[in-house]
């Protein structure tokens, strides 16, 4: 066995372990969260949370295909399905990022502005924003997958025995868009986390004597958890991607960093702690 084959097998084992954990834990997390959910709240943040649940659910449907590939080290399901499964992890990452940003900005607005000023948005714009985001995704993503995603691999790998190897499709224009998107995500995630941490600190200093009874503090603390999940799961990948787009030969390492973004599927666990977390969500403290 050559060193290249040995390294590929080692990366396959690591990715198999990661995706197995994500599938098992993510499914349990979403199942518990959907069991706890009750209809009622129509705020932007509660709708964003529901969209996160749906986003994770759709992505988890594709994870078994990844587990199959890394376990067998062979892809026999066709290039079309390979492209769909490969693209879903990126769709999941960017959609999750969008909804995290919506949640954090809304919570920050609720802190820095009068909550009543957001009432109109809570009743109407939450649904409109959600609908617009999904319509854009459902129209643009299938067209991109069919006409652009992985086209070089379609012609260069006639046996279709490999999958998730699309580094050769990174053209100069794609490189610049990757530089921009990765930098934007790093900056936005860092800034929002800093603001959210400041909000939690301000509330703690103001109500530290009775902090356990402050519902607003609990809601802002969960928002900080979302921000930290965003930092831990997204920033390492995008920092490495700034390096990877000039070193395509490190595609296996990039796949490992990319797989770490899927740990966002655990974000619903922030609601599954104490009973007060459930109560806070259901009474629309969001």
pLDDT at 8: 66
pLDDT at 142 over 90: no
Question: Which residue has 């995008």 as its token pair?
Answer: 238
Question: Which residue has 């909000």 as its token pair?
Answer: 199
Tokens of 154: 């379609």
Ordered alpha helix ranges (H), 122-267: 126-147, 151-156, 172-207, 215-244, 251-260
SS3 (DSSP) at 41: coil
pLDDT digits (tens, 9 = 90+) for 31-67: 877 776 655 555 666 777 888 888 999 999 999 999 9
Greatest CA separation for the chain: 67
pLDDT at 273: 55
Say if residues 36 and 273 touch (Cβ distance below 8 Å). no
Rounded mean pLDDT, 158-186:
80
Task: Please state, in angstroms and rounded to a whole number, the distance separating the CA atoms of residues 4 and 249.
Answer: 11
Task: Please state, in angstroms and rounded to a whole number, the distance separating the CA atoms of residues 164 and 268.
Answer: 28
Report residue 38: phi and psi, to 5°: -125, 150
Lowest mean pLDDT among 18-22, 110-114, 156-160, 255-259: 156-160
Look at domain 11-282 and name its CATH class.
Answer: mainly alpha
Say if residues 118 and 110 touch (Cβ distance below 8 Å). yes
This prediction has a pTM of: 0.83
Distances (CA, A) of 278 to 224, 228, 270: 17, 20, 10
Say if residues 144 and 207 touch (Cβ distance below 8 Å). no
Question: Which residue has 């372990």 as its token pair?
Answer: 17
Task: Please state, in angstroms and rounded to a whole number, the distance separating the CA atoms of residues 151 and 121.
Answer: 42
pLDDT digits (tens, 9 = 90+) for 188-242: 999 999 999 998 888 888 766 666 556 677 778 888 888 999 999 999 999 999 9
Question: Which residue has 């619903």 as its token pair?
Answer: 268
pLDDT digits (tens, 9 = 90+) for 1-34: 555 555 667 888 999 999 999 999 999 888 877 7
Higher per-residue pLDDT: 94 or 48: 94
pLDDT at 139 over 60: yes
Task: Please state, in angstroms and rounded to a whole number, the distance separating the CA atoms of residues 190 and 187.
Answer: 5
Q: How many CA atoms lie within 13 A of 36 on its CB side?
A: 25
Rounded mean pLDDT, 258-265:
93
Question: Which residue has 């928002």 as its token pair?
Answer: 223
Q: What is the dihedral of CA 71, 72, 76, 82, to 10 degrees?
A: 30
Is the Cα dihedral 18, 24, 28, 31 positive or negative?
positive
Q: How confident is the model at residue 148 (pLDDT cuts 50, 70, 90)?
A: low
φ/ψ region of 165 (left if φ > 0, alpha if ψ in -120 to 50, else beta) reads beta
Residue spans per domain, the chain: 11-282
pLDDT at 282: 38
Task: Please state, in angstroms and rounded to a whole number, the distance separating the CA atoms of residues 119 and 2.
Answer: 63
């Amino acid at each position: 066995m050559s060193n290249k084959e040995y390294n590929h097998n080692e990366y396959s084992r690591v990715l198999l372990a990661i995706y197995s954990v994500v599938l098992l834990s993510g499914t349990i997390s979403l199942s518990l969260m959907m069991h706890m959910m009750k209809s009622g709240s129509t705020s932007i943040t509660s709708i964003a949370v529901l969209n996160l649940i749906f986003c994770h659910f759709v992505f988890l449907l594709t994870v078994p295909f990844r587990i199959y590939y890394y376990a067998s080290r062979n892809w026999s399901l066709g290039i079309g399905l390979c492209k769909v499964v490969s693209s879903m992890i990126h769709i999941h990452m960017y959609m999750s990022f969008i909804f995290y940003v919506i949640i954090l900005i809304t919570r920050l607005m609720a802190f820095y502005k009068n909550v009543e000023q957001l009432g109109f948005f809570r009743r109407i714009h939450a649904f409109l924003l959600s609908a617009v985001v999904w319509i854009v995704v459902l129209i643009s993503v299938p067209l991109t997958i069919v006409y652009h995603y992985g086209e070089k691999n379609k012609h260069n790998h006639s046996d279709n025995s490999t999958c998730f190897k699309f580094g050769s499709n990174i053209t100069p224009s794609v490189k610049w868009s990757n530089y921009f998107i990765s930098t934007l995500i790093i900056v936005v995630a860092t800034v929002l986390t800093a603001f959210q941490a400041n909000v939690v600190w301000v509330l703690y200093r103001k109500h530290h004597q009775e902090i356990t009874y402050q519902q607003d503090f609990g809601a802002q603390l969960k928002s900080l958890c979302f921000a930290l999940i965003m930092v831990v799961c997204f920033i390492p990948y995008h920092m490495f991607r700034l390096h990877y787009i000039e070193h395509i030969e490190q595609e296996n390492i990039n796949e490992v960093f990319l797989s770490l973004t899927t740990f966002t599927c655990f974000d619903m666990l922030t609601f599954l702690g104490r009973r007060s977390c459930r109560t806070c969500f259901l009474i629309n403290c969001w």
